[in-house]
Structure formats: structure tokens, C-alpha cells
A and B are shown apart, each in its own frame.
Chain A
Amino acid sequence: MPQGMVSLAFFANPARFMAVSRWLAPILGLCAALALIVGLKMSLGAPDDYQQGDTVKIFFVHVPAALTGMFAYACLAAASFFGLVFRHSLADAAAKACAPIGAAFTGLALITGSLWGRPMWGAWWVWDARLTSVLVLFLLYLGYMALHAALDDEAKAARAAAILALVGAINLPIIHYSVVWWNSLHQGETIFAGKLAPVYLGPFLVMWVGYTLLFIALWLVRTRTEVWRRRAGAQALAAAT
């Protein structure tokens, strides 16, 4: 078995996951809080942009939220894949736990983007390829959660929601390349193209690390919660019969 699969199998054991995540989640949460406090100070202290003025400060909360929302969906799709193919209950629990966090980060990206667009473009919203594809991502999260909640049979709900998550994963490259493939009001590739001014790179990276660590910490907490919820349900059912 490849090395990656061995380590994945190691953490796929629910008891081992609960033991590791018990101390890992608070550590990651503390690191996230520290990064966000430092990042906030760096962000608000960053100089104004010569074109955008002080609205450039919205960049430090908007872009990390958007990247984390996309990263969360990649995690949701990966967990859904393992849940669907290997029928692993922990993968199902992880996928279900991931959706509300990803929806929150994507919703934040849409709100902060709107607050940035109004002073810069003169519009709260435009049906631009980037904005629309991120809105589709947000709707995919909502659809995933609604589908999970709509079916009483948890195994069937997990399977149906996993298929939706995997089909929706096609949206991730569309979001990334939307500013390349179509004429867009949204600014083009900046960070990964190395076009970001160094004075903005530091605060952005610290905020990005903070957002990502917060997502992972919350994902662990919510997956643990889902394990407890299922355990409580199963034990209550066993006690009743």
C-alpha cells in the first residue's frame, strides 16, 4: 500500500481520530487565533493602494475567505469520494461536517466582495463569471446540506449528497480560471501570478494561514460532533430495542 494510503488508513479509524483530534483541534484553534490577531494588526496597518485607496484592506479578509471556501469544497469532495467508494462512516461524517463551514467562508467571500465592489465598481453585484461561479459554489453548499437533511435514511442521504459534491467539484477549476477564460470585471490572477506587491503579501499570507487553520480546527470539532451525534443515536436506538 502506498505511504499516503497507510497514513490515511491510520487516521480513518474513528477511535484513533477521536483521540488525535481531541488535542489537535484546540492547538490548531489557538494557532488560528494567534495568526488572525497578528494578521488583523498587519492588515489594518497596511498602506493605502494608489488606485483603490483604503478599500485594499478588504482584500485581507475577502481573498482568504474565498480561498478557504474553495479549499473547504475540495475537502468536502475528497471526503465524499472516500465515503462513496469505501463506504467509510468517518468520511461521511467529515463531509457532512465540512459543508456548513465552507458555506460560511464562501458567504463571507461574497459579502466582503460586494462591500469591495460597491466603492470600486459602483455596483454591489455584477453577473460576472468569477462572482457567478462563487455564488454557484455557495448554492452547492446549501444544496448539499439541504439534500442531507431531506432524507431520513442517513446512508442514502450521504450517498446522494456525495454524488452532488463530486459533480459540483467541476466548479472549482471554473472559479479559478474564470478570470482567464472570460472577460471579467473582477481583477485577474494576482497572488499565484506573483503580481501582489510585497507590502500586501505579508498580511495576506498571515490572514490566509489564520483562516485555513481555523477551518481545519472547526472541521475537526464538527466531525467529532457528528461522531458523537451518531454514537448517541445508535446507543439510544440500542437501548430502546
Chain B
Amino acid sequence: MLHWFDPGKYAAFVATAYGVSTLVLGVLVIESLWRARRWRKAAERVRPAKAPRP
């Protein structure tokens, strides 16, 4: 247990709120980066080789 975190009576609610927040934001970041990578590659695939990268 972290020494600066004192779990109280409602620790289960607090831990769940922080856990859900971390999970949702983590999934959002990973999904955004995955989609960006996918469409960047798709755009590069159809672009002529000489064209400069935006």
C-alpha cells in the first residue's frame, strides 16, 4: 500500500472511480494512436512515392 494513500470506509468506490477513469482514458489514447497509425499508412500507400510527407 502506498504510504501517502489512506484507504477509508469507501475505498472500493474511490478505487473503482480511479480504475474506470484510467481504463477509459487509456483505451481512448491507445485507440486514437492505433487509428492514426492505420490511416497514416493508408494515406501513404496510395500517395505517389515522390510526394512530400505532410
Q: Are A225 and B28 in contact (CB under 8 A)?
A: no
- C-beta contact mask, B1-38 vs A, less than 8 Å → 1, else 0? 01011111111011011101100110011001101100
Q: Are B40 and A54 in contact (CB under 8 A)?
A: no
Instruction: Kindly state whether residue A41 has any CB partner on chain B within 8 Å.
Output: yes
Give the Cβ gap from B36 to chain A, nearest Cβ, in Å: 4
Q: Are A61 and B21 in contact (CB under 8 A)?
A: yes
Q: Known: A112-B20, A232-B39. Contact between A218 and B29, CB under 8 A?
A: yes
* Interchain CA distance A45-B33 in the complex, whole Å: 31
Q: Are B2 and A44 in contact (CB under 8 A)?
A: yes
Q: Known: A53-B10, A228-B43, A231-B43. Contact between A62 and B17, CB under 8 A?
A: yes
Q: Interface residues of A toward B: which range?
A: 35 or more
Determine the main DSSP class of A at the interface with B: helix
Contacts A53-B9, A239-B46 aside, 7 further interface pairs with beta carbons under 8 A come to A55-B14, A61-B17, A104-B24, A115-B13, A221-B36, A228-B36, A231-B43
- Listed in ascending order, the chain A residues whose CB lies under 8 Å from chain B are 14-15, 18-19, 22, 29, 40-41, 44-45, 48, 53-55, 57-58, 61-62, 65, 100-101, 104, 107-108, 111-112, 115-116, 118-119, 214, 218, 221-222, 224-225, 227-229, 231-232, 235-236, 239
- Listed in ascending order, the chain B residues whose CB lies under 8 Å from chain A are 2, 4-11, 13-14, 16-18, 20-21, 24-25, 28-29, 32-33, 35-36, 39-40, 42-43, 45-47, 54
